Every structure is written in structure tokens, then in C-alpha cells.
Amino acid sequence: MPHFRTSGASLYYEQTGSGPDIVWLPGGDQRGAEMRWQVDGFGDFRNTTMDPRGVGETGHLEGPPWTILDMARDAAELIEARCAPPVIAAGLSMGSLIVQELAIGWPHLVRLAIPMGTFAVSEGFSREWMEAEVRYRREHGDLPPDFAMTHYAAFMYPPEVLDNPGLWARLRGVTSAAYEHRDGAMLDAQWQACLDFDTTGRLPGCRVPMHVIGFGLDMQAPPGLGRKCAELAGDGHFHRLEGLAHLSLCGHRPDAVNAKIREIVDSLPEGA
């Protein structure tokens, strides 16, 4: 699949299917391909995924450091050039922050925003954890591959996965792909952008319908942070899915997440 030259990156993207446009933004340290469970569930749409700066086959023409706004600008330029906006924009974790920036800064490109596992500003445990991770990388370097894979798995999947050897064996590859051999400097750059992110003062003026999905067992972005994000948004709505963790949409319970996204999409007024 092709690369698209934005003002700041050579953006790797994949686009499949036909129909209305839905754009999927992956979490930090993940490639667009990790949204494949969602793409598979929306075959009646034209699905677009991308590798954000700092991961996969996307090449950056500037930085790091980057901001989430920089990554949102990449996505906006891709949407303008390769989609038929306004689109549905859905994202997880870092991708959910990109979705917020798209809805705020490019509302003419987005008819529905679906941030998942998100926050308007990081705080509490979530912030302290990310700060500690970035500080460790800067002071001590990369984690050993086997330790990184198991360490991050506990933050990605719920006990239902970790307590089931067969299920864990099937899903460990998702964790491995994101973290086992991760470039620490690029991880640092993405996570710092998340730490610097703050839409608390801008969300109230955003009129794009924003349906925030929180996961009841999410340790990376606890659902209370998502609820605050929805409450701040000018047209915000909050949906909590119990029994799911931060990465449950990647192979664990994509059916539950896709069903909720479908319900949200179907609730849009005709012609919206």
C-alpha cells in the first residue's frame, strides 16, 4: 500500500473497501494494522488506517519531539486527499487523542468522533505511570524484550486473558509486535506527546458529536478519565463497556467493541 506525503511525514496508510469513510487511529506504539479487527467488522465502509509518526513504515520529516496536533495534521491531510469527508474518525489511546484534535481543529472533516480509552488531560495514576515509563527509558534505556512483552501485557489485557493460557498464547503476538523490540526513543516521543496533551479548554467549543468509549478494566486510561472527556465536549456522550481492558478491541473482545461502535454509528441522524 502507498505512502502519502504530509507536511511533516511520509505517512504509511492502508485503505480497503467501499462506502462511507471510517478512519481508524491506532494506539501509541501500534501500527494501523492493529485496527484490523475493527476493519473486519465494518466491511460496508471504506476503511482507512495509518501508522502514526514514530512507528511502522511512516517516516517523519521533522522531529521528534512531536505533538498530538502534529499527528492530527497528518491525519487531516490524509483525509482531505484520500477520503470523501466528512468521515467517521475512531481511535484508541494515542489515536483517541488524535481523534479529539481532528474534531476540534478540522470539524469540517469529521461527522462523528469516537475516542476509546481516552482522556482530555492525563492525571492521577495514568499520568504518573506514563511519566515513570518515559523517565526510565531516558535514564536506563530499553527494557529487555521478554520483560517488555509481559510487563505491558498486564496493562493491555484483563485477567480473563492473562488467566487463560490458550487465549494468552493467541494474543501475546499483539503485545510482542508493539513492545518486544520497540525503539525506545520513538516510544518516548509518542508517550511524551500524550503527556503534553490537553484539550480541557477546547472541548467545550467542539460541536462534532463525540462518543467516548471507556473500558471498565482499563489501567492505562481508566474510564473515569473518558467520562470527564465526554462531559467536557460540546456534544459529548459516554459509553462504558464492562469486563474489557485497554486493548480488548485487539483480539480479546472486538465483537463487543464493534457492536457498540455500530450502535453509535446507527444512532446518527439521517444525513448527518
**What are the structural domains, with CATH classification, of the chain?**
3-121+198-266 (3.40.50.1820)
Mean of the per-residue pLDDT values of the chain: 95
**How does pLDDT run across 121-131, given as a tens digit for each residue?**
999 999 999 99
φ, ψ at 35 (rounded to 5°)? -95, 15
Q: What is the pLDDT of residue 76?
A: 98
Distance separating alpha carbons of residues 82 and 80, to the nearest angstrom: 6
pLDDT band at 53 (very low <50, low <70, confident <90, very high): very high
The pTM (predicted TM-score) of the whole model is: 0.97
Split at pLDDT 50, 70, 90, the class of 62 is: confident
Higher pLDDT, 184 or 230: 230
Count the Cβ atoms, other than its own, within 10 Å of residue 248.
Answer: 27
Query: How large is the average pLDDT for residues 222-238?
Result: 98
Instruction: Decide if pLDDT at 185 tops 80.
Output: yes
Question: Does the structure show a pLDDT above 80 at 270?
Answer: no
Q: What pLDDT does residue 252 have?
A: 97
pLDDT of residue 271: 62
Residue 180 or residue 240, greater confidence: 240
Q: Is residue 251 pLDDT above 70, yes or no?
A: yes
- Does the structure show a pLDDT above 90 at 37? yes
The residues near 235 (Cβ < 8 Å, ≥ 6 apart) are: 206, 207, 208, 209, 210
Q: Which pLDDT band, with edges at 50, 70 and 90, does 181 fall under? A: confident
Of residues 248 and 137, more confidently modeled: 248
Q: How many CB atoms lie within 10 A of CB 104?
A: 22
- Indicate if the pLDDT at residue 63 is higher than 90: no
**pLDDT of res. 182:** 85
Most confident of 1-15, 174-188, 235-249: 235-249
Cβ pair 232, 135 in contact under 8 A:
no
Scanning the structure block, which residue is given the C-alpha cell 521528534? Answer: 64
